[in-house]
Chains A and B, each alone.
Chain A
Amino acid sequence: MLSSSDMKNFIRLFCLLILICDGCIEPYPLDPHTGQRKLVVDGMISDQPGPYFVKLSWSNQTEQTEEPEVVGGALVKIVDESGHEEVLAETEGVYQTQTPGFQGVVGKSYQLKMTINGKTYATDLQEMKSAGDIDDIIGEFAPNTINLNDPTQNQDAVNILFNSHGTANKSNHFRWRWSATYQFKTNPELHVKMDQGVLVKDPLECSGYIVNLDGVLSQVRPCICCDCYITEFSSKAMVSDDRISQSGIFKRIGAAQFPADAHRFATRFYIKIEQISLSEEAYTFWKLAQVQQESAGNIFQPNVVKIRGNVKSIDDSDEEVLGVFSVSAIASKAIFIDKTVIPKPLLPIFTTSDCRLAYDGASNVKPPFW
């Protein structure tokens, strides 16, 4: 936490100096590298009820943004320490466990074994370690701490912190991920349109309202596009600090930071944090992914990070396989944060559009926990 913030200041200062010299930062055209594409594994078995998924794909060139090409037709198995094999079935590169009730157990060891185009790949047997528990989650208002589109102006934020614990004197290698859900309302019944130069009422059909002959709005059906929910997922790798993990006690770990806006904090804000136990190799993978993300944008960059996964090619030791197959227990906790966490009034957002179309990923389906 310190090293990144102090580095940032350092960089700001540095940039300031080079500004004087008309120095600049501009995109650098890297020659497209015809780096060979590599197999990517993204899979997990946990102590939570299945099914479990293993996604196989080919890595993309850096500049490619389309969906990666999936790897189909592979034989994928999760094998436990006693040799029991669970074969996964494929749907477009996504392999899924089939046996109902097949569930990981803390203390047992599992491995992934695959055959792709006649070549075999496997991870070592990894023990599923205890995930400990998340004790509490705290939402805190933090004024002037977030930079969004306007870098000259800091905005208010809500920080999400949590306390958790693992097992004392164990390695306590954890990864944390979160999902956040919030509700927002639109007023599609108040939609208007221009008709021959005059504004006329034009409620959207999904609002359930119609305009009476006398020009009054009246509801004839329930509104299906007034209340929507959006769920965001963490996209940052975040792991426990192995310098303090021996104690197994994690205090006030910053999980995320959200802009304190009327959009997210219109009513209440649901946040769920998962603590995922990791084997040594999987931990190394995620740790390096985290460093890679943190060092991005650092002009003293060369802290480049070559990340090794835990899947190995059995036939060809020179072949590098990317990604990770985790054997993890998961502990989770969720809370609602009320909009009153923000101590100042927020200007409500008024829109007459279909709430499902107002934002990416919005849905009118109320989540079961809401």
Chain B
Amino acid sequence: MRTQFLLILFSIAINISARSQDLLRIPLGNVSEKQPLKSLLLKLENTHPVKFFFLDDWIQPFEIDATYSGMTLDDALKKVLSDSDVTFTLMFDYAVIFKKDPRPAIALDNLLKTASARRISIERKIVGDRKFFSPGKPVTLRGIVIGESDGGGLADVSIMIDDQRMFIQAESTGRYSITIPSGNHVLTFRAQNYSDKVIDLSIYSNGNLDVLLEDSPTILEEIVIDDQAIVKSAVGESRLDLKSIKRAPTFLGEVDIIKQIQTQPGVTTSGEIATGFNVRGGSVDQNLVQLDGLPLFNTAHAFGFFSAFNSDAIANVSFYRGGIPAEYGGRTSSVLNITSKEGDQKKWTGSGGIGVISSYVTLGGPIKRDTTTVLASFRSSYSNWALRAVRSNYGKIQNSSVNFYDGFLKFSHKLTKQTKLTLSGYSSSDNFTLATDTLFEWNTINASAKVDHIHSERLISSTTVGYGQYTFSLQEKQPETAFDLKYKIQYPSLKFDFNYSGKHELAFGLHNTYYAFHPGRLTPQREDSGIPNIEMQKEKSIETAVYISDRLDVTEKLFLEAGMRFSIYNRLGAGVVYQYEEGKPKAPGTVIDSVNYVKSQLMKTYGGFEPRLSLRYTLNGSSSVKVGYNRMLQYMHLVTNTAAVTPVDIWQSSNEYFKPQTADQISIGYFRDLNKSTVEMFVEGYYKYTQNVLDFKDGANLLLNKQLETALLSGTSRAYGVEFSASKVKGRMIGTMSYTYSRTLRQVKSVYPTEQINEGRYYAANNDQPHVVNLSWRYNISRRHFFSGNFTYHTGRPMTVPLSVYNVDGVLVSDFSDRNNFRIPDYHRLDIAFIIEGNHKRKKLWDGSWIISFYNLYARKNAYSVFYSDNGNGRLTPYQLTVIGTVIPTLTYAFKF
């Protein structure tokens, strides 16, 4: 049916005679009523020696009304056809031939052909009635873009209108509104992790069009998301492509989001088994890891070997290391926002995988089509064959066990057309027994209920009630020393978020979280065990924040996102605040008094404004400059005296002595697309200054310490760096190279020598790693075969070494260097993987893929830490701990149905 538009008329150059000129002077006479152009032309044919040649289709939309009275044919046709691609010409001396410029139609047709060749799904849509078609008249199309699997509005959708002629971004709620000339258009909708959708649109009047994007199936080549084009993203922001993660090499076959984060520029880690990551010099506790809107306190299994999420159950991951939007707060370094998947609205689907360490399965679908969905996912380690396989002199190993699991459950239900209820649950658990007498357990439970409501086309709200809980427990069962140690954090929360979309895209809301820390309880299991019964006082606090932010295209080139968050923190009783002797360092021995607070009594209040600003100035179509500034406040502190985070580290809420950490960061970047967006490059620099960071005092005992203020020191941190990155994002071979130079320095100063570190000079923070190089690539050998890999290099972390040894009264004592004055050896590692995916038929029932992965290909023994051990004669000798000392090959099978 489209071919008729493609009729190409020959335009014959002719001399227009005087006679033919007369044709144009034919008066229309009196046009008494509105009528189609066609009927007028037919009338004229009857009354004048003129013949009109046209296709009905072309001139059908045009109408003539009374305003045309008295015009000549020439004026009238020029007026009515203006802004359209229909023109007319005279031939011989009696004919008026209507022509249509074929090029736009050909271009549109080509677009459709290309899409069709790429097997992108194309839908033909007609909006409005062709009867009311007024060519060239601007019309507005609105709607919402919905993701197939989660059934909700999709964030970060880009809409390309015709061939690059216009390009817009949908709002974060998935709503969009575009104004285009009425007529035919080809719209391409894109969102990460979804298949492109092409709409072959004929629009004749204002109208509505909701678009459903399907999950991207394996049949498609990697989709390059143009809106992700770094030129358009915000400063310090990156989004993870979940499919890329699945095609990257893995450690023991576990697809790992946190490990992927660790390869981002500006992100470092202390090693294989770090439970977290460091962003731009921040410490691990300064990352807000949020799952379905609730923060998590533990994101790892097995001391950090694996992350505690089944990637199949995750819909979206976004990561901010600078320019953090105002809706996020409570941590100073970065935001990792993870959204879990919803069940498919239309059909039941599932996926899973079988690995060396664990297996996982995900199943989801509609309970009631288009209304109610459910999705469940579960991952579990196997019982301990790996442990049993280890030959060791250590006799107890056979009786030990390591188990973990994690699971998601998500239920969504459309209450009305405008209201949706989502219930999400997440649980992760680790359970280790050592020789049947020591039991370690870590548990995380997150649950939330969220109601999304569309108040109007422009205003959407979300109300979330959440509950989170993190527990750690340690049980020693050996009768002589039996005890129970328990640690728990509970944090119910209530959040209201609003999104208003218009020229200004506003987000505002109120967040409220109540924290109850149970910092530990040690219970002897036997009276004569010699273990004291210690119960630490609960720490209760409420963190409340209001925020507002505005996203706005100030001019065509300048995009602005400005926000303000105001947070307030109240520490509540019951509790004790110790008072220390003035003029002396704080020590248990210098306590002179203590103030007791009763239950719910206000103990301390902190608060402050947190301005956020992010600017993007587009220099031309392929490059932009971005600037970001943010201030963040953090009221919870992870206290640790080890380099890597261990799950037994404790969280401390701000109190009289521990002020909230305050970070100010400014970042500026230059971003450029090269070679028709096949190569993206950026360079980004930052400077970050953080106050009230905590570091441990020499010899600090942190566990079950009721006077932690005597064991921790407060200081400042300054971090700066430059990140370079170049990515090839299209083609058979894609890859990223990045290099970061950064420094992170701390300073702890005091009038008392024992409350200083390195005499108050700046020293390298534990996570100071000046040079970091990351390379990653994926080569499509064929449509179903991929070869991927990554290489990483970073400077060894700082360490402190014993310089000399001496004897005092029979006791050998080591004299250590200044803190963090030396470095452990540099870290580098190469991983590769081959991925063989199943055949790419869309409608098949079962889709399986094999992943063969080699971790640490050249078997480098990277030092995880260097520590000192008594060599038997009281002298400390250095030892290097290597976590992974060999190449680890893994075969994994993953499936989808």
Which positions in A face B, CB cutoff 8 Å? 1-3, 5-6, 9-10, 12-14, 16-30, 33, 35, 37-38, 40, 42, 44, 57, 59-65, 68, 142, 145, 151-153, 171, 173, 177, 233-237, 242-243, 245-246, 252, 254, 280, 284, 287-289, 291-293, 296-308, 320, 322-324
Are B883's CB and A21's CB within 8 A? yes
Sample of 14 A–B contacts (CB below 8 Å)? A2-B522, A3-B703, A6-B648, A6-B703, A25-B882, A26-B880, A27-B879, A30-B866, A171-B589, A177-B809, A289-B811, A301-B642, A303-B642, A306-B698
- Chain B residues within 8 Å of A, Cβ to Cβ: 272-273, 302-303, 305, 386-387, 389-390, 392-397, 400, 402, 432, 434, 438, 440, 474, 476, 480-481, 483, 485, 522, 530-532, 587-589, 641-644, 646, 648, 696, 698-701, 703-707, 753-754, 766, 799-819, 861, 863-870, 873-886, 888
- A161–B875 Cα gap in the complex (Å)? 27
CA distance A254 to B528 in the complex (A): 13
A-B residue pairs, 7 tightest by C-beta: A301-B867, A35-B803, A28-B880, A291-B699, A300-B642, A59-B804, A297-B869
> Is B882 in contact with A16, judged by CB distance below 8 angstroms?
no
- Shortest distance from the beta carbon of A363 to any chain B beta carbon, whole Å: 18
Contacts of B806 in A (CB 8 A): 40, 42, 57, 59-60, 68, 322-323
State whether B698 touches A304 (Cβ < 8 A): yes
A6-B485, A21-B885, A27-B880 known; A145 vs B480 contact (CB < 8 Å): yes
Question: Given that A27-B880, A65-B873, A236-B811 are contacting pairs, would A22 and B886 also be in contact in the complex, using a CB cutoff of 8 Å?
Answer: yes
In the complex, chain B residues whose CB is within 8 Å of the CB of A9:
434, 438, 474, 476
Assembly CA distance A65 to B874 (angstroms) = 11
Nearest-neighbor residue (CB-CB) of B646 within chain A:
A300
Task: Name A33's closest neighbour in chain B (CB-CB).
Answer: B803
> Across the interface, do B814 and A38 meet the contact criterion of CB distance under 8 Å?
no
User: Which chain B positions have C-beta within 8 A of A27?
Assistant: 877-880
How far does the alpha carbon of A86 sit from the alpha carbon of B817 in the complex, in Å? Answer: 35
Bound together, the chains give a CA A300 to CA B643 distance in angstroms of 7
Q: How many angstroms between the C-alpha atoms of A18 and B483 in the bound complex?
A: 26
Task: Please name all residues of chain A whose beta carbon is closer than 8 Å to the beta carbon of B819 when the two chains form the complex.
Answer: 304, 306
Question: Whole-angstrom distance between the alpha carbons of A153 and B642 in the complex?
Answer: 30
Residue among B389, B476, B804 making CB contact with A62, cutoff 8 Å = B804
A241 nearest CB across to chain B (Å): 9
Instruction: Say which residue of B389, B440, B706, B888 sits within 8 Å of A10 (CB atoms).
Output: B440
Residues of A within 8 A of B885 (CB): 21-24
Complex-state Cα separation, A233 to B469, whole angstroms: 49
Cα-based distance from A40 to B810 in the complex (angstroms): 13
| In the complex with contacts A27-B878, A28-B878, A305-B698, A16-B646 CB distance below 8 A | no
Chain A minimum-CB-distance residue to B357? A20
Q: A23-B884, A23-B885 are in contact. Are A28 and B879 (CB under 8 A)?
A: yes
Q: Given the complex of chains A and B, what is the CA–CA distance between A61 and B480 in angstroms?
A: 41
Give the docked Cα–Cα distance between A302 and B704 (Å): 19
Neighbouring B residues of A303 by C-beta, 8 Å: 641-642, 696, 699-700
Cβ of A236: which chain B residues have Cβ within 8 Å of it?
A: 811
Chain B residues, CB < 8 A from A308? 753-754
A152-B588 in contact (CB<8A): no
CB-defined contacts of A306 to chain B, threshold 8 Å: 698, 800, 816, 818-819
Report the minimum CB–CB distance from B191 to chain A (whole Å).
Answer: 38
Cβ B305 vs Cβ A17 within 8 A:
yes
Q: What's the Cα separation between A64 and B877 when bound, in Å? A: 11
Q: Is the interface of B mostly helix, strand, loop or mixed?
A: mixed
Q: Check A59/B815 contact, CB under 8 A, given A16-B387, A303-B699.
A: yes
Contacts of B706 in A (CB 8 A): 243
Q: Which residue of B lies closest to A34 (CB)?
A: B803
Question: With contacts A10-B440, A65-B875, A299-B867 known, is A16 near B812, CB below 8 A?
Answer: no
Least CB distance from B308 to A in Å reads: 16
Given that A59-B806, A60-B804 are known contacts, is A302 also in contact with B876, CB under 8 Å in the complex?
no
Residue of A whose beta carbon sits closest to that of B859: A22
Tell whether A14 pairs with B303 under 8 Å between CB atoms, given A21-B885, A288-B699, A303-B699.
yes
Whether A243 contacts B588 in the complex (CB less than 8 A), given A2-B522, A5-B481, comes out as yes
- Given A64-B805, A243-B706, 16 more A-B residue pairs with CB atoms under 8 Å apart are A1-B531, A6-B476, A22-B888, A25-B879, A30-B801, A30-B878, A42-B807, A59-B804, A60-B804, A152-B394, A177-B809, A235-B812, A289-B808, A301-B865, A302-B642, A302-B799
A70 to B672, CA, bound (A): 67
Question: In the complex, what residue of chain B is closest to A234 when comparing beta carbons?
Answer: B810
| A21 touching B589, Cβ below 8 Å | no
**Whole-angstrom CA separation of A171 from B532 in the bound complex:** 21
Chain A residues with Cβ below 8 Å from B766 are 302
Residues of B within 8 A of A33 (CB): 801, 803, 817
Contacts of B302 in A (CB 8 A): 17
Residue of A nearest to B873 (CB): A65
| Closest partner residue, chain B, to A254 (CB atom) | B530
Residues on A with C-beta less than 8 A from B873 are: 65
**Residue contact B432 to A302, C-beta cutoff 8 Å:** no
Which of B386, B476, B530 counts the most A-chain CB atoms under 10 A from its CB? B530
A233: contacting residue among B810, B869, B878, CB under 8 A: B810
Complex Cα–Cα for A252 and B530 (A): 7
Nearest CB of A to B439, in Å: 10
Chain A residue contacts of B700, Cβ below 8 A: 303
Q: Complex Cα distance A246/B706, Å?
A: 14
CA distance A261 to B37 in the complex (A): 116
- Chain A residue with the shortest CB-CB distance to B584: A280
Known: A3-B703, A13-B434. A38 touches B387 (CB 8 A): no
User: Please, which residue of chain B has its CB at the minimum distance from the CB of A161?
Assistant: B530
Closest CB in chain A relative to B425 CB, distance in Å: 28
Chain B residue, CB-CB nearest to A12:
B434
Chain A hits for B805, CB < 8 A? 59-62, 64
Chain B residue with Cβ nearest A175: B809
Complex CA gap A308/B644 in Å reads: 26
Q: Is the CB of A299 within 8 A of B699?
A: no
Instruction: Please determine whether B801 and A299 come into contact, CB atoms closer than 8 angstroms.
Output: no
* B701: chain A residues within 8 A (beta carbon): 3, 291
Q: Does A304 contact B809, Cβ atoms closer than 8 Å? A: no
In the complex, A61 Cα to B323 Cα: how many Å? 49
Which residue on chain A has the smallest CB distance to residue B530? A252
Contact check: which of B393, B588, B818, B879 meets A26 at CB < 8 Å?
Answer: B879
**Residue from B809, B817, B865, B884 in contact with A300 in the complex, judged by beta carbons closer than 8 Å:** B865
Please give the distance in Å from B100's CB to the nearest CB on chain A. Answer: 69
- B811–A302 contact, CB under 8 A? no
Cα A171 to Cα B864 in complex, Å, equals 41
Residue numbers in A under 8 Å from B699 (CB-CB): 287-288, 291-292, 303, 305
Measured CB to CB, the closest approach of chain A to B648, in angstroms, equals: 6
Nearest-neighbor residue (CB-CB) of B804 within chain A: A59
Q: Give chain A residues whose Cβ lies under 8 Å from the Cβ of B394.
A: 12, 16, 151-152
B864 contacts which chain A residues (CB < 8 A)?
23
Instruction: Give Cα A288–Cα B303 distance, bound, in whole angstroms.
Output: 28
| B816 close to A242 (CB less than 8 A) | no
Chain A proximity of B419: nearest CB distance (Å): 47
Contacts A28-B863, A254-B530; A242 near B587 (Cβ below 8 A): yes
Nearest-CB distance from A184 to chain B (Å)? 22
Q: Is the CB of B522 within 8 A of A288?
A: no
A25 to chain B, nearest CB (A): 5
B817 touches A25 (CB 8 A): no
If A40-B806, A302-B641 touch, does A307 touch B476 (CB 8 Å cutoff)? no
In the assembled complex, which residues on chain B have CB atoms less than 8 Å from the CB atom of A42?
Answer: 806-809
Contacts of A173 in B (CB 8 A): 589
Q: In the bound complex, how far is the Cα of B698 from the Cα of A303, in angstroms? A: 7
In the complex, are the beta carbons of B815 and A307 less than 8 A apart?
A: yes
- A44 B809 Cβ-Cβ under 8 A: yes
A21 near B865 (CB under 8 angstroms)? no
Tell me if A19 and B390 are in contact (CB < 8 A): yes
* Residues of chain A lying within 8 A (CB to CB) of residue B877: 27, 62-63
Least CB distance, A156 to chain B, in whole angstroms: 12
CB neighbours of B485 from chain A (8 A): 2, 6
Partner of B648, one of A10, A61, A63, A152: A10
